[in-house]
Amino acid sequence: MTTISSVLTINQPHIPDFTNPLGLLVHCHERIEAQLSALERAGEILRAGDTQSLPRVFAAIDGACAHFAIPGVKHTEDEEVSLFPRLRERGGTARDALAAMTELESQHRRGEQLHAEIDELVGILPRDGSAEAKELDRFNELVAELTTLYRPHILLENNFVFPIASEVLPASEIQALGEEMRARRKDILQKLEASRSAQAGRMV
């Protein structure tokens, strides 16, 4: 199960921190890709009827749903509240990204609808292997639509929007973007720090 700490382990050298907010957004996309793959694999196992794997499968599904419900929502806010408005303020210098951002925001709304449908279905899906074929088919259909939505969306942001942002936004604006992203995760970071302190206390 993906945890908040695994998403926001910001002191590891291979993971960008809030001083590199655009890099951190790309890293968030990598975590999203991992959750999509987990959902796809879970659907395959459920369809195959592997009852022995059910606890592991539903742990992965629950982990993915939790990721999209908390870090995933904050990631969308990073873009729509902090990044996109800054690009729109640049006007002509970011004109190539303007139409893309409108489409990306529309895709965010559709993604939210799909997540709500998946969450509702997962909430009623029997966890003892007795799910009906139509329920499993619907789960896989929703996951397929979600991955079809996300993957080109991520490519467009990684390869087009974020590079434009790095070119047109001054260093002060990029720094402010990172500070807003950090503030948005204040509650998560506090829980993470408390967890680390508790673990350190147990080791003494």
pLDDT in tens, 6-58: 333 334 456 899 999 999 999 999 999 999 999 999 999 999 999 999 999 99
What's the pLDDT at 56? 96
Listed in sequence order, the residues at least 6 apart from 117 whose beta carbon sits closer than 8 Å to its beta carbon are 142
Report the distance separating Cα 204 and Cα 151, nearest Å. Answer: 45
Residue pLDDT, tens place only, 118-160 = 999 999 999 999 999 999 999 999 999 999 999 999 999 999 9
- Give CA separation, 151 vs 57, 144, 154, in Å: 22, 11, 5
Quote the tokens at residue 175: 């720094």
Per the structure block, which two tokens stand in for 26? 């790309």
Residue that is written with structure tokens 């004109």 in the block: 95
Q: List the CATH code of the domain at 4-9+18-203.
A: 1.20.120.520
Biggest CA pair distance of the chain: 58
Runs of H (alpha helix) within the chain: 4-7, 21-48, 54-69, 71-77, 84-89, 95-124, 133-156, 162-168, 171-184, 186-203
Q: What is the pLDDT of residue 44?
A: 96
CA 7 to chain CA centroid, Å, is 9
Would you state the pLDDT for residue 11?
Answer: 40
- How far apart are alpha carbons 57 and 50 in whole angstroms? 10
CA distance 64 to 155: 20
In this prediction, residue 200 carries a pLDDT of: 67
Residues 93-102, mean pLDDT to the nearest whole number: 87
Q: Are 74 and 14 in contact (CB under 8 A)?
A: no
Amino acid identity of residue 126, one-letter, is P
Share of the chain above pLDDT 90, in %: 79
Question: Quick one: tokens of 132?
Answer: 């009906």
Say whether pLDDT at 190 is over 90: no
From residue 42, give the alpha-carbon distance in Å to each of 49, 115, 149, 197: 11, 16, 19, 34
User: CA-based Rg of the chain, rounded to a whole angstrom?
Assistant: 19
Residue 203 is predicted with a pLDDT of 63
